[in-house]
Structure 1
């Protein structure tokens, strides 16, 4: 005779009556409430003194005892004075099961509309059947709609004397202030690690299991302050194991790595051994650890390392074993808090990307390699400090870099300026952060391997040979800082045609800023000229022309001399200046402006007038994006 196994299991009495651990070991009195002693004491005192309010708000994270406390409080309020033991037991059992007629539990997530609240308002006037009060427990109350909250306000402020409200929520910020002001609020804190560990040990013993202390500590830490989560994890492990629960079984079931593997990866990161970190992570994942869980564990482990590095004791550790505090302290001091913070930033950003990626493992591997490339983080702040203080009269022996400047410049060139987040820092981003002066000095280091600004404030080690720059590099530096910079500018812009070339002739001075930038000085009142040349297309054209003349790119800084434009009559205009005047005159004409606006065009050249009658402004060639031309 064939027997269906699924039907046999479903019809088993044990399966039909089984209750999960979190419900079977739920606290049923204030004395059994774990981790919320302050709330239990306050509510007990209110009942004993007769100072019971009409509305209470219980807030806190999931699984910390909000709903359990609401039921315990409801039982204490419902049982009449001098009631027989039978009635007391009946009411208590009904409330614990959520079936009491006078204690109404409402799920705010599924009963969130105004219609449900109107029904509640219609029923509050009915007196309780057998208890002293009719108590409404609304779980996840923040899920109610705004209209529903407004419908509840009047009843919440002045309810009948036999009605009590108990609200439970994990997100009190979403509640209207008008509701918050009408409730007595109690904040539930996360349950302490030791309390969770002790409770799990009691449950495991009651269920007939032996559990290793390390496995017990792992489950308690994994719960992150939630008693219900810890009990759910314990039940999951108990269904996986028989008799004895080991730490290896817990790691295998949860897809996590043990602390030894985490320490091996972190030590490889500290040693900047990318290959070892890569291999250690893959070996850990081959043992069953999930890449996302491993990244999260590494993040929390580095958090513990940071906490120890700033002086924290064993009690601040979340993931690491408190008995290994001395080893963590030594590692934190050797690696440095700044490097640990940078590694935390990289892992945090990686975790965000991993949640929406199908290549989570690859992203974790990339993050580990990026962390290993942070070898120069300790040197960069010292370099910047020396750069920013190079102008002050300081003792040269007081400013020493941890490594030679030219060596650091070579490292920065090779690593493309890896930042603490592992991204490439471009010149504009560096300037936004450091300012143009420091940026130019850094760029000069990258170009030449040494910095004249640092020569007076940074002492080079005597045993480090400084390689002199080659002749071609010296020539470029002399050209960049020569008095003939204005002449170089004239030659470069003389090859450009159009209005921008005419504007370039107005430049009165050129001031090289280091070897990475040129400051172009325009005469007073030439703001419109500067704005025209600052357009991305025009500025790119100027930079390209100057780069062709110099053999390398420089950054252009356009400035206008202070003061107002001269009002004295100008001398006889040259042909170049006359062309500039005509182009300005044409460009300012309303009709020409309108044509340029409609065609998205610009004036590139002005031809002399040919046999035109009446007022005219010459023949203007107008360039459009589709290479068409027009004349006025």
Structure 2
């Protein structure tokens, strides 16, 4: 009997030849994956939860009649089924701690025990095989306590075979146990799933695979670097059997000490530094250097499809580091590269990294169906080099939504600029009351897709022709120059508001109060909201009060007010009577967004709380009466030029001009 523990010295070809259960071929050599197969629950690696559950079931006598083991390939499903069978058929009684030397355990390991029947579901998937199984279920075991059926890849059975098995699976004889193993449980009928106790086998973590591989190389008396073992473990993608097969393949290739270079050479993969250099050249927007790096990798014997897979894994780790994960979350790169990945993520931006991940995934699908994999990969990396700064677009949109100046917009292109705020810092930013409105809300910006891919901002002559929207300089001529480099570098500094004359109020000119400097240039504030002039509420002043308050509300609200006939009801209430044909205006004026601002404007001008009462007139509308005129404030040429200068000096607008290489061609009039 061969002891398969890593410390055993009997794990040699001679010992394997002495044990018929390990005889793999005529030479007597047994592969590593079979030689170091776990023998009991304590040797299971990465599936401790399954081993503990089955151990407790045996010790408490709660053993079910049907079990379903699911999980990826090579994670220990069949090995666990054999261990469970040995524990149940232990000669001394069911026990999680059994003797490996007894005849039943040896026969089960060799697959020769007559009471433990292993069936391959892929080659025995028809109804005839299941009928034969049902006929033999009633026969009691020959020498053990239970007759155990282990069906591997059970999802390959046909629908008719499953239907024939259902009744036996639900109520089998007391001496029969079923253990099903599958990599695709979704293909099993729900009627089968409901009759089984399901255990999900998780992929084995990389550190645990490395630890097991270390035990194997020590037992084999081979010197190996930890980095080489980690490369093999990462390549196995959570499969313990795959890692052991790769280890045996590399051991056959190398001579002497096992090194990372030998692993890459044998597996045809790129090393981490080559991947990092390729990513850096793409981040630097250098297509020529990127193609040269790609050519060197292919010349070194790395397949284009394999390189695309490695790049996808690399950018997955880059994405995890960029969002703030710890080095333990890296799955495809070593933890020692954490700082390098963090710097590259800050340079590139999360949104750009996410776009690269999507492009590489699509390229992998195309490579699998094409014979020109290298050309597809080269085209993809050039597209990545030409990607716009998507993170800058996202930052600009977030700043506009929060109505805050954008700081450090060019931090990726200018090392001296302010670095981008982290995700945790962005969550703390909340818009204050002073940012509730601003000129930016009145600028129509239309940025074509070509403008998004522009280079850093260029300088050019200022255009003073306000005849369009913000557009790409590539399609509309030279861009407008920024007011100053200092204002672009420090957009958060307060910008004094230019003196703007107040809008005239009919019959009662009200001087405009001075507007203090603010971080965001403020739009002209109506005199009604400043509280500088008071109009007492009286019958004589009612017309002036209504006209002045109409100037401080939205144009639509003012149009509703002009429809009504206003009169003084009492000392604090104004009665607004709407004609019979103005029912819609009455309903709209009664809404909070129209009624509230008008009452506030009246109260501010009158110096007291003023309310309004809306009533519908019972008199018919006068057909000769002139229709109400829509309020459309007009601006003089001087006011338009002042507003144009104010918008051009705004930090948001300057950031758009610099980031998208655009120019201001139209500014909507103030409402």
What TM-score results when the alignment is normalised by the length of structure 1? Answer: 0.61
The 3-state SS of whatever aligns with 2:390 is: coil
Question: Taking structure 1 as reference, are residues 13 and 340 closer, same or farther at Cα in structure 2, changes over 3 Å only?
Answer: closer
CA contact (8 A) 1:106 1:136 kept: yes
* Residue in structure 2 matching 1:21, options 32, 43, 58: 32
Partner of 1:185: 198
| Bigger helix fraction | 1
| Structure 1 segment 281-300 matched on structure 2, within 5 A | 281-300=294-313
Distance 2:24 2:177 in 1: 39
CA contact (8 A) 1:54 1:165 kept: yes
Structure 1 residue 246 displacement after superposition: 1.0
* Residue in structure 1 matching 2:254, options 234, 237, 241: 241
Q: Is it true that 1:57 corresponds to 2:68 in the alignment?
A: yes
Partner of 2:84: 73
Partner of 2:337: 324
Q: Is it true that 1:148 corresponds to 2:161 in the alignment?
A: yes
CA contact (8 A) 2:121 2:155 kept: yes
Question: Taking structure 1 as reference, are residues 47 and 286 closer, same or farther at Cα in structure 2, changes over 3 Å only?
Answer: same
Distance 1:285 1:60 in 2: 34
CA contact (8 A) 1:409 1:449 kept: no
What whole-Å deviation, never above 9, does each CA across 1:253-278 have from its counterpart, x for those lacking one? 11100011000000011111111111
Structure 1 residue 81 displacement after superposition: 2.4
The 3-state SS of whatever aligns with 1:244 is: coil
The 3-state SS of whatever aligns with 1:210 is: coil
Partner of 1:47: 58
The 3-state SS of whatever aligns with 2:364 is: helix
Partner of 2:558: none
Question: Taking structure 1 as reference, are residues 413 and 139 closer, same or farther at Cα in structure 2, changes over 3 Å only?
Answer: closer
| Structure 1 segment 126-525 matched on structure 2, within 5 A | 126-378=139-391, 380-381=393-394, 394-396=437-439, 411=451, 447-448=475-476, 461-463=482-484
CA contact (8 A) 2:350 2:391 kept: no
* Unpaired runs of at least 5, structure 1: 1-11, 416-439, 452-458, 465-632
The 3-state SS of whatever aligns with 1:194 is: helix
The 3-state SS of whatever aligns with 2:178 is: strand
Distance 1:129 1:182 in 2: 27
The 3-state SS of whatever aligns with 2:212 is: helix
Question: Taking structure 1 as reference, are residues 330 and 382 closer, same or farther at Cα in structure 2, changes over 3 Å only?
Answer: closer
Question: Taking structure 1 as reference, are residues 155 and 405 closer, same or farther at Cα in structure 2, changes over 3 Å only?
Answer: closer
| Structure 1 segment 533-548 matched on structure 2, within 5 A | none
Distance 1:376 1:442 in 2: 19
CA contact (8 A) 1:36 1:189 kept: yes
Distance 1:111 1:13 in 2: 23
Partner of 1:507: none
What's the RMSD between the two structures over aligned residues?
3.3
Structure 1 residue 205 displacement after superposition: 1.5
Distance 2:162 2:436 in 1: 68
Distance 1:87 1:347 in 2: 50
Distance 1:385 1:311 in 2: 19
Question: Taking structure 1 as reference, are residues 442 and 102 closer, same or farther at Cα in structure 2, changes over 3 Å only?
Answer: farther
CA contact (8 A) 2:213 2:244 kept: yes
Q: Is it true that 1:107 corresponds to 2:120 in the alignment?
A: yes
CA contact (8 A) 1:295 1:347 kept: yes
The 3-state SS of whatever aligns with 2:325 is: coil
Distance 1:91 1:14 in 2: 24
Distance 2:390 2:376 in 1: 22
What whole-Å deviation, never above 9, does each CA across 1:459-508 have from its counterpart, x for those lacking one? 972159xxxxxxxxxxxxxxxxxxxxxxxxxxxxxxxxxxxxxxxxxxxx
Distance 2:136 2:70 in 1: 26
Partner of 1:473: none
Distance 1:227 1:81 in 2: 32
Distance 2:270 2:337 in 1: 17
CA contact (8 A) 1:64 1:188 kept: yes
CA contact (8 A) 1:251 1:258 kept: yes
Distance 1:311 1:352 in 2: 29
* Unpaired runs of at least 5, structure 2: 1-22, 404-434, 456-467, 486-671
The higher relative CO (CA closer than 8 Å, separation ≥ 6) is in 2
What whole-Å deviation, never above 9, does each CA across 1:600-627 have from its counterpart, x for those lacking one? xxxxxxxxxxxxxxxxxxxxxxxxxxxx
Distance 1:336 1:145 in 2: 50
Question: Taking structure 1 as reference, are residues 39 and 388 closer, same or farther at Cα in structure 2, changes over 3 Å only?
Answer: closer
Structure 1 residue 45 displacement after superposition: 1.1
Partner of 2:137: 124
